[in-house]
């Protein structure tokens, strides 16, 4: 698959996985099925498919796509939308969401109950305008059900059914987002350095600026001064305030570590030993 198409699909579909190898006994016992394909000038494989008995439609067969994708025209003609479906008020690139296909057929191969995204994908639309009608993509939720070989000379694909059920990538992604929605991560230092640092929005230099050094603190004892730029600590970059909290959260109090600062344009290495505290 061409890099531009792969990148565009990754931005839209957000996630790519690989199906595990099917069990060998399943390959031996199942009857191989064949399907023809054609090659575009871009070297994308194109297949003619029937969706819910309607078609044929021309779709790109993409072994890098995690899910099937069809445009709105095909979805309407093949009755993919449920009867109670209501079009969203705002749909970027005609994105209607995820639906189920009752059946998808390519040559002798037929799979049922497959997930598909419905949208007028801009990259697919561009290929369609340049090289003839292309109305979607066949992805993992179809071909993951088979062990597959490709004969480029004969332009045929051979599918051997296996016992693997491809995961629903969009559903899994939504579950991940929902499960992490209310989780809060708190960053706090494992020990106290005794400084206040800042980084201006337009500051593109490495490190953060030390604004204040507390008296009799670990920083003061190590020789850090206000105006110094803290570059790294214990081998970890400190390019943002968050970086500093992350770096110090990994250092136990009373553990000697090395910090790199820049003062008057010259870098210096200092030894630090954080104090316990909250």
* Residues 6 or more apart whose Cβ sits within 8 Å of residue 12: 117, 119, 121
Q: Is residue 58 over pLDDT 70?
A: yes
Q: CB-based burial of residue 106 (10 Å sphere; 0-12 exposed, 13-18 middle, 19+ buried)?
A: buried
**Cα gap 198→262, rounded to integer Å:** 15
Query: Any idea which residue has 């204040």 for tokens?
Result: 212
| Tokens of residue 8, six digits | 């565009």
Give me the percent of the chain exceeding a pLDDT of 90.
42
- The answer to whether the CB of 262 falls within 8 A of the CB of 226 is no
| Tokens of residue 183, six digits | 């989780």
**Cα gap 132→46, rounded to integer Å:** 11
Which homologous superfamily does the CATH classification assign to the domain defined by 3-180? Acid Proteases (2.40.70.10)
- Is the peptide bond between 247 and the residue preceding it cis, with omega within 30 degrees of 0? no
Closest CA to 82 of 71, 98, 105: 98
Closest CA to 261 of 272, 277, 248, 276: 272
Instruction: Tell me which fold the domain 195-273 belongs to.
Output: Pdz3 Domain (2.30.42)
Q: What is the tens place of the pLDDT at every residue in 165-187?
A: 777 666 666 666 556 555 555 55
Q: What is the tens place of the pLDDT at every residue in 194-246?
A: 889 999 988 888 999 999 999 888 899 999 999 999 999 998 899 998 888 88
Query: What pLDDT score was predicted for residue 101?
Result: 92
**Cα gap 122→99, rounded to integer Å:** 20
Three-state DSSP at 142 gives helix
**Cα gap 233→248, rounded to integer Å:** 8
Domain boundaries, the chain: 3-180, 195-273
C-alpha torsion angle, residues 265, 269, 271, 272 (rounded to 10): 50
More confident residue, 13 or 147: 147
Q: pLDDT grade, residue 161 (50/70/90)? A: confident
More confident residue, 241 or 24: 241
More confident residue, 7 or 248: 248
Q: pLDDT grade, residue 26 (50/70/90)? A: very low
């Amino acid at each position: 698959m061409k890099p531009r198409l792969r990148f565009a699909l990754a931005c839209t579909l957000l996630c790519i996985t690989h199906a595990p190898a099917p069990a060998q006994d399943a390959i031996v016992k199942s009857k191989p099925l064949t399907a023809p394909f054609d090659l575009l000038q871009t070297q994308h494989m194109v297949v003619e498919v029937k969706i819910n008995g309607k078609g044929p439609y021309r779709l790109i067969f993409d072994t890098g796509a995690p899910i099937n994708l069809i445009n709105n025209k095909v979805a309407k003609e093949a009755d993919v939308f449920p009867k109670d479906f209501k079009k969203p008020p705002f749909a970027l690139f005609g994105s209607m969401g995820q639906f189920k296909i009752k059946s998808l057929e390519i040559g002798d191969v037929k799979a049922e109950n497959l997930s598909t995204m419905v949208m007028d994908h801009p990259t697919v639309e561009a290929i369609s305008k340049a090289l003839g009608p292309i109305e979607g993509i066949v992805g993992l939720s179809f071909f993951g059900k088979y062990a597959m070989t490709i004969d480029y000379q004969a332009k045929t694909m051979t599918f051997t059914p296996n016992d693997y059920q491809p995961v629903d990538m969009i559903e899994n992604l939504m579950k991940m987002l929902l499960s992490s929605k209310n989780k809060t991560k708190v960053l706090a230092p494992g020990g106290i350095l005794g400084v206040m640092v800042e980084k201006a929005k337009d500051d593109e230099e490495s490190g953060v600026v030390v604004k204040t050094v507390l008296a009799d603190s670990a920083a003061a004892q190590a020789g850090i001064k206000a105006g110094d730029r803290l570059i790294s600590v214990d081998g970890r970059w400190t390019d943002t305030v968050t970086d500093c909290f992350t770096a110090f959260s990994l250092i136990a109090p009373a553990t000697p570590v090395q910090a790199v600062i820049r003062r008057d344009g010259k870098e210096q290495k200092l030894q630090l030993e954080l104090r316990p505290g909250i």
